[in-house]
Every structure is written in structure tokens, then in C-alpha cells.
Amino acid sequence: MASDSDLKYMSGFGNEFASEDSRCPGALPEGQNNPQKCAYGLYAEQLSGTAFTAPREENQRSWLYRIRPSVLHEPFVKTERGNLTHDWDSVEPNPNQLRWHPFDIPQEKTDFVQGLSTVCGAGDPKCRSGVAVYIYVCNTSMGDKCFYSSDGDFLIVPQLGGLSITTEFGRMKVDPNEICVIQRGMRFNVAVTGDTRGYMLEVFNDHFVLPNLGPIGANGLANPRDFLTPTAWYEDRDVEQYTVISKYHGHLFSAKQKHSPFDVVAWHGNYAPYKYDLSKFMVINAVAYDHADPSIFTVLTCPSLKPGTAVADFVIFPPRWSVQEHTFRPPYYHRNCMSEFMGLIYGAYEAKEEGFRPGGASLHSLMTPHGPDAECFEKASSAELKAEKIATGTMAFMFESSYSMAVTEWGNQNKVDPNYSHCWQTLQKHFNSSWKPNGDGKQQKTFTF
């Protein structure tokens, strides 16, 4: 099982890293050129995350020094993909607000890949454009199997139970309230110790980066030094049959080989998996008036070609102080040019304390109105405006995308809350045409709750 000793600080996106298993000192070549023969009889293999000719500041690749090259496997054959799909057109569009109750853990033995179900998404991985949102539920380790995506980068958000993830770069233990990113082409295995559930976002276009801070300045939000990437760890293990599962064009393919794929003794580069502890997020919030836009809570973003518009943002709503004056503090009512998929890791989300539960989800599609429920609105409109700690013991998050996401057949048939819209139906009309401002220009209260 991986521990923090198996990880090292990234100390900044885009930086070069070098790591070798302590059992094989000198496995990393010295100098700029590789020798004719690698140390310890290893093979050199490059994993490229960007085009060779991408600008230097955007170029991502790593060199892996491994016992056997990854090409050593039998041909891929198509395999059962279960509830995993990128068919966005088989179900009629639905612009309504959607909410899902917590997704069930299967009774039968189910590993991470078998427990993947596509909830919604848009685009086409063949064109390297789009996103997909998944729920994973599992109770069994993958054993002698590994998984990778040729389609995009995975952002994994555990909600129930931790994941012990072995990658070609090393090992990571990812618990609830942590996230990890495993990028395109990286092979990984997931081990669990019991019932496990969580959320996963895949982006087809590009990679996640830290958002620009703009007027915030040099500090705040997610700090680069808090991201961890694995240290090299290898196993030299021959097996009767090891299965490599590839996600390609939204389908699954499997290939057999007779050795563990996690035989990388050393690696260097800037293309590697990483994890982040959400409790380390530095919240920036308003201290005078008006509710800040949720973009102020962005942890990671995958930018589109249009400046300021994301393929996908990963946004969190952590515990924080609410201290604004003369304003409505909960999230405002909203119609948006983005799709908003929300999940709850633990606790009670302040704008939906009833019905939105850990392990469940909601989707507010492009231009579909949403906002706090009636109970939240009435309570907040009458509350004393004093400094208040909110979201204590809570961690909600949002996958926000500029794509108009469609819900899959599985998403429409599993754990959908048919009564979600009821939470707004008791909102009252408070309009008073005879309202007059007070002498000081402030609003005169003419109604109570």
C-alpha cells in the first residue's frame, strides 16, 4: 500500500522531475544523452503527453526506464464495456434540473473498471474534443489487470473508501477529500479494501492546469507545492496472464501479457500522475458585499482555445467564513452558459441541505435555472448578517464545462430523484409595488418570513 513516503512534491506544474527506485541506484542516466545501453539492462521508453513540437512551456513528456517495453503484449481485442459509453444521441435531450440519490454499491464482486458508469458528457474522443462524467462503484481490487485511457485525462474524486493506485510512475493512496489526476496513456491498477464509490471526470481535449490568479496575485487557491507525484517503484513479476485494458474511442479493449506492467525502475520528465489534498485549498472570498462567482473556488482547469472559457473546471466548496455585509450570502439564482455537474463527498451542501446527499449528484444544464431551495432562501434572507463559518464538515464539488452535456441511458435510469424540482416550488412572491426606500436610501423591509 502506498504512503506519503511514496510521493514527492511536484513543486510546480511543468517542472522536470527525476525519480529512481532506491533498490537500483544509478538507474537514471547522467548527462543529456542516453548511453547506448541503459543501466541494469533496462529499456528506455518515452511517454508523450503533447505533440513533439508543442511550445516548450506546454510540452509534456517523460522518459521511463523499464524492465520490458510496454509494446510486449498480445494484440488488443474488443471487450465488454458495461455502462461505459460516449453515445450522447441514444437518449432524448432533457433540459430539466436533474438530481441523483447516492449510487448503489454492487453486491457482486466488482472492480474499478467494471464499476464505471457514464452519467453524462459531450463531444468525441476521436476528435480530441469533449468531456465525460462517470460514477465508479466497486468492492474488489483489480488484481492482475491494469487500465489506461487513450481518449483523455482522468480526474478521480473518491467519496467512499480510499483507492490504492499503482501506476507506471509509482504508487499513490488517494482517500476521500483528496483527488488524483491520471493522464492519457498512463497505465494504473486500483486496489480497494471494501465498498468504494466516487466520481470521475475525463477531458478529451488537453490537460488540467492551475487557473491563472489574475488580481488575486501570486498566492491563493491551490498552491503548486501541495501537489504530489509518485516516486519510482517497480515490481519484476512474471505472471501466467496479466490483462491490459485500453479505453479507445469510448470502447474497451484488452490485451494479454506475461509480466507486470509496473516495471519502471526510474523515470524523469514532466508528464506524471499526481494527487492533491482538498483541505489544503486556500479559500479567497468576499469580505464586503456580493456573492463571489464560483470560479473563485477553481482547483484545476482544462482550458479551451477560447480565452477564459474552460473545457472543464474542477471547483470545490470547502469550509469557509461568510462575512459579507448587506448581501444575500448563499449562491445566487443563476442561468449559465456552462454545464454544472455537482457531487458531494461528505456533509451537507449549504444551498441544498435536504435531498443532495454524499455519493449523489446533480446536473444543471446550459441555461437551465438553478439556485438555493426555498428553505435556504427564506432562512438566509432573515438571518443576522454576522461572521459565520459555513460548510463546516462539508466538501461539495463541481465539474463545470462549456460543453452542453447529454445524460446517458444509464444516467436516466439509475437513482434519479423525480422530486428534485419540488425544492423550488414553495418559493413565494414578495413583490410590493408600494415599497419605498428608507431615508438613508436603504431598502425598507416590507415583508417577513
Minimum mean pLDDT range among 3-12, 17-26, 68-77, 104-113? 3-12
pLDDT over threshold 80, residue 52: yes
**334 included as an active-site residue:** yes
C-alpha 22: how far from chain center = 31
| Residue recorded with cell 441555461 | 367
Please report the pLDDT score of residue 292 as a whole number: 83
Please report the pLDDT score of residue 7 as a whole number: 66
Q: How far, in Å, CA of 349 to CA of 309, rounded?
A: 26
Q: Catalytic: which of 101, 259, 291, 353?
A: 291
Q: Catalytic: which of 86, 178, 364, 400?
A: 364
Range 283-412 classified under CATH 2.60.120.10: yes
Q: Catalytic: which of 178, 340, 350, 400?
A: 340
| 109-124 per-position pLDDT tens digit | 999 999 999 999 999 9
CATH number of 4-278: 2.60.120.10
Q: Which span out of 30-34, 57-61, 178-182, 306-310 was modeled with the highest average pLDDT?
A: 178-182
Q: How confident is the model at residue 447 (pLDDT cuts 50, 70, 90)?
A: very low
Q: What is the mean pLDDT of residues 181-196?
A: 98
Q: What is the mean pLDDT of residues 385-408?
A: 94
Q: Catalytic: which of 73, 350, 370, 400?
A: 370
Residue 120 grid cell: 453524462
Please report the pLDDT score of residue 11 as a whole number: 46
Q: How far, in Å, CA of 279 to CA of 348, rounded?
A: 16
Q: Catalytic: which of 334, 353, 375, 378?
A: 334
Q: How confident is the model at residue 443 (pLDDT cuts 50, 70, 90)?
A: low
pLDDT over threshold 90, residue 185: yes
Q: How confident is the model at residue 286 (pLDDT cuts 50, 70, 90)?
A: confident
| Amino acid letter, 76 | F
Q: How confident is the model at residue 9 (pLDDT cuts 50, 70, 90)?
A: low
Pair type for strands 145-149 and 238-248: parallel
pLDDT over threshold 90, residue 445: no
**259 included as an active-site residue:** no
pLDDT over threshold 60, residue 200: yes
**207 included as an active-site residue:** no
Q: Which residue has the higher pLDDT, 156 or 288?
A: 156
DSSP letter assigned to residue 321: E
Percent of the chain with pLDDT over 70: 93
Please report the pLDDT score of residue 34 as a whole number: 61
Domain boundaries, the chain: 4-278, 283-412
Please report the pLDDT score of residue 33 as a whole number: 60
Please report the pLDDT score of residue 331 as a whole number: 82
Please report the pLDDT score of residue 357 as a whole number: 94
Please report the pLDDT score of residue 67 as a whole number: 98
Please report the pLDDT score of residue 449 as a whole number: 45
Please report the pLDDT score of residue 355 as a whole number: 80
Sequence-separated (6 or more) residues with CB below 8 Å from residue 378? 449
Please report the pLDDT score of residue 77 as a whole number: 98
Q: How confident is the model at residue 2 (pLDDT cuts 50, 70, 90)?
A: low
Q: What is the mean pLDDT of residues 317-330?
A: 88
pLDDT over threshold 90, residue 317: yes
| 218-244 per-position pLDDT tens digit | 999 999 999 999 999 999 999 999 999
Q: Which residue has the higher pLDDT, 423 or 151?
A: 151
pLDDT over threshold 50, residue 22: yes
**370 included as an active-site residue:** yes
pLDDT over threshold 80, residue 431: yes
pLDDT over threshold 50, residue 358: yes
Q: How far, in Å, CA of 392 to CA of 322, rounded?
A: 11
Q: How far, in Å, CA of 273 to CA of 168, rounded?
A: 9
Q: How far, in Å, CA of 212 to CA of 246, rounded?
A: 33
**235 included as an active-site residue:** no
Q: How confident is the model at residue 376 (pLDDT cuts 50, 70, 90)?
A: confident
Average pLDDT, the chain: 91
H or E element in which residue 382 lies? helix 374-382
Q: What is the mean pLDDT of residues 152-177?
A: 98
